[in-house]
Chains A and B, each alone.
Chain A
Amino acid sequence: DGGITQSPKYLFRKEGQNVTLSCEQNLNHDAMYWYRQDPGQGLRLIYYSQIVNDFQKGDIAEGYSVSREKKESFPLTVTSAQKNPTAFYLCASSRTGGGYNEQFFGPGTRLTVL
């Protein structure tokens, strides 16, 4: 089955710890994205990558880091510098190029900082 997987589904972290969220896709999409969603709010873009070994900051990149060493994988690290990391984290991927490039989402990771 083609799709996007995220792990873990739930993650608990102590304050001051870094944590890495996994995102893998087998859709052969060039572009991948990380979003954050807080209760009752829309999605906000953290980082995105349109090609391997390249990525750009989104609207709320502070306190986060990413890497894109493989086309299939786009892990997100939530660092201790992120002031309010408790949220629902969503990874997405899409084709690039002209036309409509719909984004498809993984099931998400719920991060709770204790």
Chain B
Amino acid sequence: RKEVEQDPGPFNVPEGATVAFNCTYSNSASQSFFWYRQDCRKEPKLLMSVYSSGNEDGRFTAQLNRASQYISLLIRDSKLSDSATYLCVVNKAAGNQGGKLIFGQGTELSVKP
């Protein structure tokens, strides 16, 4: 089993659609969770940190379910500019290994006019 697994893509959606990405992680000791966005041939950029209570930033909502070891990202009212690959990222463990992040393989989103 991969340490971080994401929905296989690509997701092709029309502008204005709501799209949800799912991610599962295998290490129950993980304590930090993130969603990054990566545009084609560019570096990943932090989109959101994911907190236990869930958090929202404009059109983006992230949820964490520790019991199920599951993370989600919801994008409402999709824009053309949301087209990118979305990376689910989990820290490896607590303690001095906690800085190490494990990246999912990414889910590609394409928003069409």
Contacts and interface: CB of A to CB of B under 8 A. Distances in A.
B61 interface: no
Interface in A41-76: 41-43, 45, 48, 50, 58
A96 interface: yes
Contacts of A45: 100-101
A94 interface: yes
A92 B57 CA distance: 24
Contacts of B4: 42
Q: Which size bracket describes the interface of B in this complex?
A: 20 to 34
B1 interface: no
A105 B45 contact: yes
Contact of B87 (A42, A101, A104, A108): A42
Interface residues of A, number: 24
A105 B44 contact: yes
A42 B105 CA distance: 4
Contacts of A40: 105
B32 interface: yes
Nearest to B98: A101
B15 to A, nearest CB: 26
B105 A41 contact: yes
Contacts of A42: 4, 87, 103-106
A78 interface: no
A104 B43 CA distance: 9
Contacts of B32: 99-101
Given A42-B87, A100-B32, A108 B103 contact: no
Contacts of B29: none
A82 interface: no
Interface of A: 31, 35, 40-43, 45, 48, 50, 58, 88, 90, 94, 96, 99-108
